[in-house]
Amino acid sequence: MNGVKKNLGLIVLLVIICVIAASFGSGFLTAYNAMNLIQRTALFSILGIGAGLVIATGGIDLSIGSIVCLAGIATPWLLVEHGWSPWAAVPAVLAVTALLGVGHGLLVTRLRLQPFLVTLCGLLLYRGVARWMTDDQSQGFRGEFTGLRDIALAKIAIPGIESFRLPATAVPLIVLAVFTGLFLSRTVWGRWLLATGSNESAARHSGIPTARLTTLAYMACAFLAGAGGMLFIFDIGSAQPSDFGNFYELYAIAAAVLGGCSLRGGRVSVVGIILGTAVLQVLRNAIILLGLGSELEFAVIGGVLLIGVSADEVVRRWVPRRG
């Protein structure tokens, strides 16, 4: 019930922001702007769901943006610079990102390193590798592989609506959201993962394979960051390794926290993450349309994180007293 109330609150907040942006900002209600918002919300929601899975175990992943960079830069680098076929390059990049996630999980569960430290090192390491292997040069498709890029660029016509087309990136998001929601709510592994985040020691003594589940969460997060990185580069066409994906981990974590994920673990809402991402993207869009300056964007993300963490702590202290 609390999750439903939080989602309703996010919907109300989203509507309020939309009303303000439509009233005082020009171009908010255009079909082009709506398609752009859905595109960005879909892409960042994929990252947010990955972050949410890790947060559900009581961990954190600060390397999301750098994995986005590594995967996004490596894809055109392999395809254009080294002549790989899409059938080889795409699975190879996704496999590497998944292995990076497995590495994070093993370092956290086997060596008992702090997730913050492990993924902070990843944040620095993976971007450094991306800059080194490309000589810090911009990577792009140079007009090639248009069919592959249509995975992110295609638009789906909606009967009866001529000016608006649904971005194709909404499709993988819907599939991912349904799969993740069913995994968490209808499978024993999903319930075990949440139990691991709620009380890792009690879950382990109950026979739950907490180390495997934690590693699975980090692997899924890195894999989704890699897939998201590919979709981002398919969308924009080219990117510079020095700044591509910068601060994307903050978008993902902020969306997860805003969407109802507890930073102490044990709670995650897929619908909430998508709504949280939508709120952040509409806020960003409104800031730009209202002429407040894009520099304010990061201040808004910081404020959202602070409010989310503070609210989570207040609820944690208030509920036991009420009971």
Whether residue 106 has pLDDT greater than 90: yes
Which is more confident, 206 or 322? Answer: 206
CA proximity to 232, closest of 139, 163, 159, 117: 139
What pLDDT is recorded for position 307? 74
Exposure pattern of 102-115 as b/e (b: 16+ CB <10 Å)?
A: ebbbbbbbeeeeeb
What pLDDT is recorded for position 1? 52
Which is more confident, 202 or 159? Answer: 202
Whether residue 27 has pLDDT greater than 90: no
Range in 15-29, 99-113, 301-315 with the lowest mean pLDDT: 301-315
Whether residue 37 has pLDDT greater than 60: yes
Are 228 and 278 in contact, with CB atoms under 8 Å apart?
A: no
What pLDDT is recorded for position 322? 57
Mean pLDDT for the chain overall: 90
Q: How far apart are CA 304 and CA 30, in angstroms?
A: 27
Global pTM value: 0.92
Q: How confident is the model at residue 2 (pLDDT cuts 50, 70, 90)?
A: low
Instruction: Dig out the tokens for 127 from the structure.
Output: 């971007």
Whether residue 189 has pLDDT greater than 70: yes
Whether residue 199 has pLDDT greater than 70: yes
Boundaries of every domain in the chain: 39-246
What pLDDT is recorded for position 323? 52
Instruction: Dig out the tokens for 308 from the structure.
Output: 């989310």
Q: How far apart are CA 70 and CA 244, in angstroms?
A: 9
* SS percent in the chain: helix, strand, coil, step 5: 75, 5, 20
Kindly list the distances between the CA atom of residue 265 and the CA atoms of 116, 197, 230, 269, 315, in Å, as whole numbers in the listed order: 14, 4, 29, 12, 14
CA proximity to 267, closest of 53, 5, 48: 53
pLDDT tens by residue, 243-290:
999 989 989 998 998 888 888 888 899 999 999 999 999 988 888 888
pLDDT (average), residues 156-163: 83
Are 89 and 79 in contact, with CB atoms under 8 Å apart?
A: yes
Q: Which residues contact 235 (CB under 8 A, 6 or more apart)?
A: 39, 43, 149, 152, 153, 169
| Beta bridge partner(s), residue 165 | 157
Residue with tokens 């601060």: 247
Are 105 and 209 in contact, with CB atoms under 8 Å apart?
A: no
Are 69 and 228 in contact, with CB atoms under 8 Å apart?
A: no
What pLDDT is recorded for position 220? 97
Instruction: Dig out the tokens for 251 from the structure.
Output: 């978008």
Range in 168-182, 217-231, 290-304 with the lowest mean pLDDT: 290-304
Which is more confident, 196 or 2? Answer: 196
What pLDDT is recorded for position 26? 80
What pLDDT is recorded for position 3? 66
pLDDT (average), residues 45-74: 96
pLDDT > 90: percent of the chain: 64
Are 273 and 256 in contact, with CB atoms under 8 Å apart?
A: yes
